[in-house]
Amino acid sequence: MKDLTLSKQDLQAMDQRHRTRLINSLSGFKSANLIGTYDNQGVTNLAVISSVVHLGSHPPLFGFIVRPSKRRRHTLENILETKHFTINSIGADFVKNAHQTSARYPKSVSEFETVGLTPYYDDDFPAPFVLESSLKIGLAFKEQITIESNQTQMLIGEVITIHAPKSAVMPDGYLDLEALDTVTVSGLDSYHVTQRLHRLSYAKPDESLFPLTREGDPTSW
């Protein structure tokens, strides 16, 4: 295939929307999640986010990026106000509803209602989950970080509760997202389902890797 080489100057000369689509595609496939929040008046908010990143397992921490635009401010403001949020996986059957949360609604409007998704509460956790999501995570706000290079914010939370279908949890702890029809995003707007090639054994310097089924390596259960 013929290769295209783009320099910093080429990128700067590009039409802004064109460049945004290209740059957003470069990191590879991204997670597709809905962040659920509420404010002190009880208004709920739902935002599609492709930047959730794993920061550690002991304690279990996840972060996500809030760009300094007006659009995502509601999520940021709500989390600072009420200190809790949910991460909800996006399934192939409600991709359109999820994508619609990226429209610029006023703060008084709950995206749950407008896009047609259902708030779900468990007794012990204050922020709204998405009923339609197979995998629902409740987190407590831990830390806000400002990225100096572009004034972007990273919000970090600790996992307090997890709701997942029992059948998708493998004997070694791995969660089969594919069995849940979880989608992945590329660029700003492309949604994909997946097909597993294989899991791979734990890499050691002087051993050959071997493919595993979705159940993993029976010696590690």
89 conformational bin, left if phi > 0, alpha if psi -120 to 50, beta if neither: beta
Please identify, using beta-carbon distances, which residue of 77 and 172 lies nearer to a copy of itself.
172
Token duo for residue 18 = 């064109």
Whether the upstream peptide bond of residue 218 has omega within 30° of 0, thus cis, is no
Please identify, using beta-carbon distances, which residue of 82 and 144 lies nearer to a copy of itself.
144
Decide: helix, strand or coil at residue 38. strand
Burial 141-173 (b: 16+ CB within 10 A, else e): beeeeeeeeeeebbbbbbeeeebbeeebebeee
Pairing, β 84-89 against β 136-147:
antiparallel
Please identify, using beta-carbon distances, which residue of 81 and 154 lies nearer to a copy of itself.
154
Please identify, using beta-carbon distances, which residue of 80 and 154 lies nearer to a copy of itself.
154
Provide the minimum distance between the beta carbon of 79 and a copy of itself in the complex, in angstroms, as a whole number: 15
Please identify, using beta-carbon distances, which residue of 37 and 139 lies nearer to a copy of itself.
139
Provide the minimum distance between the beta carbon of 112 and a copy of itself in the complex, in angstroms, as a whole number: 15
Amino acid at 221: W
Residue with tokens 């997946």: 194
Select from 189, 182, 151 the least CA-distant residue to 25.
Answer: 189
Provide the minimum distance between the beta carbon of 35 and a copy of itself in the complex, in angstroms, as a whole number: 12
Provide the minimum distance between the beta carbon of 94 and a copy of itself in the complex, in angstroms, as a whole number: 12
Select from 57, 111, 55 the least CA-distant residue to 88.
Answer: 111
Please identify, using beta-carbon distances, which residue of 29 and 39 lies nearer to a copy of itself.
29
Under 8 Å CB-to-CB from 60, ≥6 apart: which residues?
A: 158, 159
Provide the minimum distance between the beta carbon of 131 and a copy of itself in the complex, in angstroms, as a whole number: 11
Provide the minimum distance between the beta carbon of 27 and a copy of itself in the complex, in angstroms, as a whole number: 5
